[in-house]
Structure 1
Amino acid sequence: MGLLSQFGHLDIDWNLSPEHAVTMYLEWGNNNWHAEYPPVRSKADYSTYFVVDMWGEKPVVRLVRRNSEAAEELVTLQLPNRLANKLLEEYGDLKCIMEPTKEIKAWLRKELGHD
């Protein structure tokens, strides 16, 4: 059983990018009520999503739970070498936080037991 299996019960937003999360939770009023992600209404509104962190020597994946007050990192995972190397080939030494690729999402779903 993998480390992620303990989070398999969470409602993960697979389409929430770091940019959308900032718009929703940190820049209230910056998005439209008719958008895919309308503004949050209270501190009780949470989202749970994955990000890829490219700031370190090797990319890692973080599971984040966020509301308007804080972002909590639930777990940080090393990517399998094949996925990490593919990211490094494509993005080089770019330092960023980004949405997981389709391949990384497929790996995460498998690790969560959602496949």
Structure 2
Amino acid sequence: MGFHKSSMNIELKSGHVLTAYCRKPTGEATYSELNLDDFLGAKKGKFAWSADNFSDHASDVNLKLEGPTHEPMLSARLDDEEGGEHMDVVNLADCIKNENGRLRFMDCF
């Protein structure tokens, strides 16, 4: 289950730090931060999981909760390593979970 289903006030800080109040099994919500640059990169103008430092290659970074289930979609214009830029979008819920009130990256691909 994606972290967004058990979290609130999901935001992006400094263009690469995901923040949220994540519910624990007890119902208590705790503040958590996760630096996306630690495991999300950019390759050839596309987001790449299990890479790093996407923000070094990104502009127009934006986080929106979209659709009926409020999927956390991160979008950015990413350098393609050949002088061009491409807009790409990644669903953060694919690889991030709420583990006992903390945002955690999970190997997903």
TM-score by length of 1: 0.30
Give the number of the structure whose residues are more often helix, by fraction: 1
Which of the two has higher C-alpha Rg? Answer: 1
